[in-house]
Amino acid sequence: MRAPRSVELTETRVESASEAATATQTQAATTGATGAKKRPNLFVRIITAPFRGLAKLFGGGDKDDKTARDKAKQKKDTQTTAANQTTPAQPDATTTTAAATAAAARTEPTPVVVAAATSASPVAAVATSQPEVLAEAAARSVRAGEKALSVPPTFAATTPSATTPDATAPQPPAPSAEETVDYAPRPFKPYIEGVPGDPLSQGRALLANGYNNEAISELSVAAVTGPDLVEANNLLGLAYDRRGQHKQAREFYERALSVAPRNAQVLNNLGHSLYLDDRYTDALSHLKDAARLDPADTRVANNLALVYGRLNKFDDAFKQFKRAGGDFYAHTSTAALLATARRDRDAIKHYEAARKLIPAAPDVLRQLITLYVRTGQRDKAEAAQRALDKTADKASGVS
């Protein structure tokens, strides 16, 4: 009876060894799949094989293997889920482009906004490093009813600016020198109404109204191209005399005299220019020539009287003043020359002679008061002052 039992035990051991080998292979496969368990020692497997065989006989081995496989699968799923949550999935390039295009089409145009590195939004945090993730996040924000962020300038499509000229567009040609507009301010140039517009007429009118510089500009043209070169040069000399440029003035007078040497008006102006330049002897010569050519010209007589006064020839000056304006004018003008020369008593004689002609002349009374005081004649000065006051009272009463 013992022999069969021995055979049965032998068969049982064989089955247990086979089951142990099967369990070992299953455990090795499970351990390789999960990577969590370590391979046990060979000696331990041999010792524990009979017990696993017995568990197999009573139906316990399948349950343990299934439980181990379920745990390994659950652990693998947990690791996969954690990996998916840690690293965002990279979307396909075609899907990303389509999503970004759809988001841009559904969102109204907004100005380009560069996402700050400190922004609280996860989309803004990866804006400068992952444009695909930014586009996918923008698409998700649009689907969720939020306002999408614009793509940073580095990845945005370049659009022609209204203020930036297009290098490929044809540029208008640069204006030529003739077409260039000069906006520099122009100096004021007066125009005398009611006078012909030719340079000579305008120059003469401008000089008569005191526009010396403008008159020179017009007369310079007339002195070159005008029909009357004598008058143009004569007026140019007069304009330069008024500016105090007597040397330049004489140049124009001499030009006029080179064409018309017997012109009394040009000779008179040249003599007066020499008088203004303190050249009295030369002035007297030209003025005498002018007086012989035109004895009735009062301007020549007046200029001669001034030259005679500078030469201390006051009697000759009185005669020329009388020829120029009469007795009263001669006395007052000669008295003025004498007072300038500090010949006060001679000046008083001429002013007293002028007062006899016009007793209430206020200018004569004022000059007499000054000369009386300077010469120590207090009584005459007070009498002249009372006469001047009466003249002033009468003038105020009439007005």
In a structure prediction context, what are the per-residue pLDDT tens digits for the chain, which is 399 residues long? 444 444 344 444 444 445 544 545 545 444 444 444 445 566 666 676 666 666 555 555 455 556 667 777 777 777 766 555 544 444 444 444 444 444 444 444 444 444 333 444 444 443 444 555 555 655 565 555 444 444 344 333 444 444 445 555 566 666 565 555 556 666 667 888 888 888 999 999 999 999 999 999 999 999 988 788 999 999 999 999 999 999 999 999 999 999 999 999 999 999 999 999 999 999 999 999 999 999 999 999 999 999 999 999 999 999 999 999 999 999 999 999 999 999 999 999 999 999 999 999 999 999 999 999 999 999 999 999 999 999 888 777 655
In a domain, 382, yes or no: yes
- The residue out of 34, 59, 80 marking a domain boundary is 80
- Tell me whether residue 207 is in a domain: no
CA atoms of 120 and 397, how far apart (whole Å)? 98
With respect to residue 6, please indicate whether it lies within any of the assigned structural domains: yes
Tokens standing for residue 185: 């301010």
Indicate the residue among 13, 46, 80 that finishes a domain.
80
**76 domain-assigned:** yes
- Whether 365 is in a domain gets the answer yes
State pTM to two decimals: 0.53
- CATH, residue 390: 1.25.40.10
Closest CA to 202 of 218, 188, 224: 218
Residue 366 in domain:
yes
- Domain of 53 in residue numbering reads as 2-80
- Does residue 346 lie in a domain region? yes
At which of 53, 80, 107 does a domain end? 80
For 84, the enclosing helix (H) or strand (E) is helix 61-86
Number of structural domains found in the chain: 2
The reply to whether 52 falls in a domain is yes
Residue type, 280: Y
Q: What are the distances in angstroms from CA 55 to CA 16, 26, 40?
A: 10, 15, 19
Closest to 109 measured CA to CA, from 156, 145, 154, 144: 156
